[in-house]
């Protein structure tokens, strides 16, 4: 299909806003499916995973597609639970547009707000879909005001709901001036839209002033797309995904007004560190980006690719990044939820799935010419994983299977990570939240038939120093043959929080030969990784190697690794080291009458309330800062406080020193391990 007839759109929004039900209506209204699926029966096209059906909520992104007025729409239905926000963000490079679905009865929600702002940061064209107009029509005007307060005055309705919530009234294509909406007027909504669009086009502004409000949609198309690209306009539509009210009008907006790949902002491709402009001509070199990986236990790896330039065919000879080894896709597919349809080619601007190429990973760039070996997309800012749990295979002999399974589930979810804690010989699975990890464990056991044991989530403590200090160590070892000798003098000083680690070589006169400086750094980094006082990674300090000695025969790499370690440990012991704990920003939404209990609970767990916002629906949003160690059971505490009516999101804020008694407990009995 021509690139001029393709639309790529991600549905974003809070869990429960109705994205999956709305997707079902879009498929139904375009004749893509014959019967509407239902969440409570597990029959929707999007939520086909067994766990999604059991939970009756999306936990991963589904790719759907339909055709409306000869326009093909690729729709990515994303999860809206806080724990799976990374899975929603990770697919943004595949689309030009993002549609935020808002529940009219609940308001925006913290996850929705984060996703909407992230889409803006990635230069996506955005729109808002207010759902459930049949449930709360009388509060829709207040909700629109709230949205404009939160996201800005560029949010303007392109249609308005009727008072009974059974229909919507067009305010743009063919304004229905003779109908009365639930709030506002068609004329004022239409004028506001036109004013906003023509502001960016001087010629059209002059014509508008001459013609009044007689401008036609075809005259406004290009300026409308420019307003979307410049984030000067965010159109708002009203629907009821339950009844289907407003869905046909929404389809017209998606197909006629949301941008094609040529009209949207260009993808953020880089060649090394230089921005790259791509060509959408079919005869250009083929370039695609893997925006999602799915691993089916029976069918193997499936890579979902956005084609940015050229065409992909089953026999195309392709390369992955800088790899020199080529591969051929063999088979190309279009997805409809879990169903696959084989296709002959994928054109520029379209999405495609490639099966059984194990080397394809999330964020990989594929191409058919070595001219693009170093092309990559600007990195996504993913929410930092904060919850960890130790994991091991229950059955002896399943250790290899454990690592293979962990590799598969982390390949599918870029917000999951696996690490090995050397000091405790512990394998850690880390994710955004407790539910995130629980879902991953369930998948390992149910889909991959691997029984695992888990222990209480570990807190990602860190270590640092608070003063400058010097360290010195001479490593000398004689074993009868060739000996070991290395001597290191270094100094350390703290850096501002968040600065990381710097290693500086100021050795002069060849006191330590240049080939041994990396060995000194290796020894220092070993302690940085393992921890010096409590077994946690170190951060925010600078190490400067100032002097040392070597022996022409006995000096070896291992000697300077050992000397670097010991000199660094000595310096740390004198630099007033502390253990840092992660502090998180909590955004908690509760019924207004639960505020007193919430405040007391937060104070009793070392938390601080920083801001309170009273909403229009009797709910209060509370911003807090709390040590992560104090909220491992917060879901249960909040459920008890609010009788199940509260919810929260969190994100890493910063690290702070733990209280002295807690530091003593964490450091008790720890000793950095020796090396041979």
Please state the rounded mean pLDDT for residues 41-47: 89
Is residue 480 predicted with pLDDT exceeding 80?
Answer: no
| Mean pLDDT, the chain, integer | 90
Position 675 confidence tier, pLDDT thresholds 50, 70, 90: low
- Strand locations in 241-382, DSSP E? 269-271, 274-275, 287-296, 300-309, 319-320, 332-336, 339-343, 351-355, 365-367, 375-377
* Length of the chain counted residue by residue: 676
Position 153 confidence tier, pLDDT thresholds 50, 70, 90: very high
How many Cβ atoms are within 10 Å of 354's Cβ, its own excluded? Answer: 26
Query: Does 626 or 458 have the greater pLDDT score?
Result: 626
Structure-block tokens of residue 287: 């370039």
Is residue 513 predicted with pLDDT exceeding 90?
Answer: yes
> β-pairing, 234-238 with 155-157?
parallel
Give the span between the Cα atoms of 506 and 547, in whole angstroms: 8
Query: Does 57 or 480 have the greater pLDDT score?
Result: 57
Give the span between the Cα atoms of 559 and 561, in whole angstroms: 5
pLDDT of amino acid 161:
95
List pLDDT tens digits, range 537-550: 999 999 999 999 99
**DSSP state letters, 484-536:** EEEEEEEEEEE--TT--EEEEE---TTSS-GGGHHHHHHHHHHHHHH-SSSSS
Is residue 299 predicted with pLDDT exceeding 80?
Answer: no
Angstrom CA distances, 572 to 473, 491, 498, 530, 664, stand at 13, 9, 18, 13, 16
Give the span between the Cα atoms of 460 and 652, in whole angstroms: 11
Which of 206-220, 229-243, 331-345 has the least mean pLDDT? Answer: 206-220
pLDDT of amino acid 317:
93
Is residue 422 predicted with pLDDT exceeding 80?
Answer: no
Give the span between the Cα atoms of 55 and 85, in whole angstroms: 17
Which of 57-71, 365-379, 496-510, 610-624 has the least mean pLDDT? Answer: 610-624
Structure-block tokens of residue 306: 């956005």
Which of 15-19, 384-388, 434-438 has the least mean pLDDT? Answer: 384-388
Position 560 confidence tier, pLDDT thresholds 50, 70, 90: very high
pLDDT of amino acid 656:
93
pLDDT of amino acid 458:
67
Please state the rounded mean pLDDT for residues 445-455: 89
- SS3 state at 250: helix
Q: CA 631, 635, 637: angle at the middle one, nearest 5?
A: 80
Torsion on CA atoms 486, 491, 493, 495, rounded to nearest 10: -50
pLDDT of amino acid 324:
87
pLDDT of amino acid 457:
58
In the block, which residue shows the tokens 């689309």? 95
Please state the rounded mean pLDDT for residues 155-175: 94
- The backbone torsions φ and ψ at residue 462, rounded to the nearest 5 degrees and listed phi first, read -130, 170
Position 136 confidence tier, pLDDT thresholds 50, 70, 90: low
Give the span between the Cα atoms of 512 and 417, in whole angstroms: 38
pLDDT of amino acid 617:
62
pLDDT of amino acid 486:
93
Position 383 confidence tier, pLDDT thresholds 50, 70, 90: confident
**Domains of the chain and any CATH numbers:** 3-256 (3.40.50.300), 278-377 (2.40.30.10), 387-458 (3.30.70.870), 463-576 (3.30.230.10), 579-662 (3.30.70.240)
In the block, which residue shows the tokens 């002033």? 209
| Element housing 74 (H / E) | strand 71-77
Closest among 119, 118, 120, 142 to 130, alpha carbons compared: 142
**DSSP state letters, 27-56:** HHHTTS-SS---GGGT--SS--SHHHHHHT
Q: In what order do the strands lie in the sheet with 125-131?
A: 62-68, 71-77, 6-13, 97-103, 125-131, 234-238, 155-157
Give the span between the Cα atoms of 464 and 90, in whole angstroms: 32
Sign of CA dihedral 265, 268, 269, 273: positive
CB 315 within 8 A of CB 328: yes
Position 554 confidence tier, pLDDT thresholds 50, 70, 90: confident
Give the span between the Cα atoms of 8 and 280, in whole angstroms: 15
Which of 19-23, 101-105, 333-337, 430-434 has the least mean pLDDT? Answer: 430-434
pLDDT of amino acid 156:
97
Give the span between the Cα atoms of 278 and 286, in whole angstroms: 10
Chain centroid offset of residue 186 CA:
38
In the block, which residue shows the tokens 């307060």? 149
Chain centroid offset of residue 583 CA:
20
Please state the rounded mean pLDDT for residues 85-100: 95
pTM assigned to the model: 0.76
Sign of CA dihedral 622, 623, 627, 628: positive
Structure-block tokens of residue 159: 């249609």
Chain centroid offset of residue 449 CA:
28
Q: What is the CA radius of gyration of the chain?
A: 29
Give the span between the Cα atoms of 173 and 239, in whole angstroms: 17
Is residue 676 predicted with pLDDT exceeding 70?
Answer: no
List pLDDT tens digits, range 60-83: 999 999 999 999 999 999 999 888
Structure-block tokens of residue 266: 């260009």
Is residue 204 predicted with pLDDT exceeding 90?
Answer: no
272: left (phi over 0), alpha (psi -120 to 50) or beta: left
The share of the chain scoring above pLDDT 90, in percent, equals: 63
Is residue 532 predicted with pLDDT exceeding 90?
Answer: yes
Is residue 155 predicted with pLDDT exceeding 90?
Answer: yes
End-to-end CA distance of the chain: 64
Torsion on CA atoms 103, 109, 112, 116, rounded to nearest 10: 100
- Strand locations in 94-220, DSSP E? 97-103, 125-131, 155-157, 159-161, 168-170
* CB-count burial class (<10 Å; 0-12, 13-18, 19+) for 244: middle
């Amino acid at each position: 299909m021509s690139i001029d007839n393709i639309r790529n759109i991600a549905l974003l929004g809070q869990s429960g806003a109705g994205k999956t039900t709305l997707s079902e209506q879009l498929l139904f209204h375009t004749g893509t499916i014959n019967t509407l699926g239902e969440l409570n029966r597990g029959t929707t096209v999007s939520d086909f995973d067994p766990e999604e059906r059991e939970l009756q909520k999306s936990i991963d992104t589904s790719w759907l597609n339909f055709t409306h007025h000869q326009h093909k729409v690729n729709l990515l239905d994303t999860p809206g639970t806080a724990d799976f926000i990374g899975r929603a963000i990770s697919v943004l490079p595949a689309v030009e547009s993002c549609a935020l679905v808002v529940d009219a009865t609940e308001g925006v929600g913290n996850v929705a707000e984060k996703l909407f702002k992230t889409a803006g940061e990635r230069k996506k064209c955005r729109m808002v879909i207010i759902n459930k107009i049949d449930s709360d029509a009388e509060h829709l005007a207040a909700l629109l005001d709230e949205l404009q307060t939160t996201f800005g005055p560029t949010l303007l309705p392109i249609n308005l709901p009727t008072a009974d919530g059974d229909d919507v009234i067009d305010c743009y294509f063919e304004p229905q001036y003779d109908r009365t909406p639930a709030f506002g007027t068609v004329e004022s909504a239409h004028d506001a839209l036109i004013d906003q669009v023509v502001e960016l086009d001087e010629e059209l502004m002059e014509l508008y002033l001459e013609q009044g409000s007689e401008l036609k949609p075809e005259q406004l198309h290009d300026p409308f797309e420019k307003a979307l690209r410049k984030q000067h306009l965010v159109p708002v539509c009203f629907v009821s995904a339950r009844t289907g009210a407003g869905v046909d009008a929404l389809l017209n907006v998606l197909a006629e007004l949301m941008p094609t790949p040529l009209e949207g902002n260009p993808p953020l491709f880089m060649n090394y560190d230089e921005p790259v402009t791509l060509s959408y001509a079919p005869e250009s070199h083929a370039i695609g980006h893997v925006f999602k990986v799915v691993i089916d236990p029976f069918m193997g790896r499936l890579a979902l690719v956005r084609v940015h330039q050229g065409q992909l065919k089953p026999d195309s000879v392709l390369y992955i990044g800088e790899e020199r080894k080529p591969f051929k896709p063999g088979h190309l597919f279009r997805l409809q939820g879990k169903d696959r349809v084989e296709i002959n080619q994928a054109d520029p601007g379209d999405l495609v799935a490639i099966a059984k190429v194990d080397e394809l990973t999330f964020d990989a760039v594929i191409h058919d010419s070595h001219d693009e070996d170093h092309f990559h997309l600007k990195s996504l800012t993913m929410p930092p994983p904060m919850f960890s749990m130790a994991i091991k295979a229950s059955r002896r002999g399943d250790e290899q299977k454990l690592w293979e399974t962990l590799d598969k589930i982390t390949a599918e979810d870029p917000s999951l990570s696996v690490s090995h804690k050397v000091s405790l010989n512990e394998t850690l699975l880390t994710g955004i939240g407790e539910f995130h990890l629980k879902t991953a464990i369930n998948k390992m056991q149910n889909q991959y038939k691997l029984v695992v044991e888990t222990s209480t989530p570990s807190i990602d403590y860190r270590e640092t120093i608070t003063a400058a200090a010097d360290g010195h160590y001479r490593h000398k070892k004689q074993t009868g043959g060739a000996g070991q000798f290395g001597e290191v003098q270094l100094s350390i000083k703290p850096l501002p929080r968040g600065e990381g680690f710097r290693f500086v070589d100021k050795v002069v006169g060849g006191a330590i030969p240049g080939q041994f400086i990396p060995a000194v750094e290796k020894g220092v980094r070993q302690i940085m990784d393992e921890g010096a006082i409590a077994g946690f990674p170190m951060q925010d300090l600078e190490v400067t190697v100032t002097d040392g000695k070597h022996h022409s025969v006995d000096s070896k790499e291992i000697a300077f690794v050992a000397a670097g370690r010991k000199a660094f440990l000595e310096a740390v012991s004198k630099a007033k080291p502390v253990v840092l704990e992660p502090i998180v920003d909590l955004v908690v939404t509760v019924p207004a009458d639960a505020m007193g209990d919430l405040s007391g609970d937060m104070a009793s767990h070392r938390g601080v309330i920083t801001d309170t916002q009273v909403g229009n629906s009797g709910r209060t949003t509370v911003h807090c800062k709390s040590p992560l160690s104090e909220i491992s059971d917060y879901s249960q505490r909040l459920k008890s406080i609010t009788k199940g009516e509260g919810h929260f999101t969190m994100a890493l804020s910063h690290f702070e020193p733990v209280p002295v008694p807690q530091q003593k407990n964490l450091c008790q009995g720890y000793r950095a391990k020796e090396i041979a």
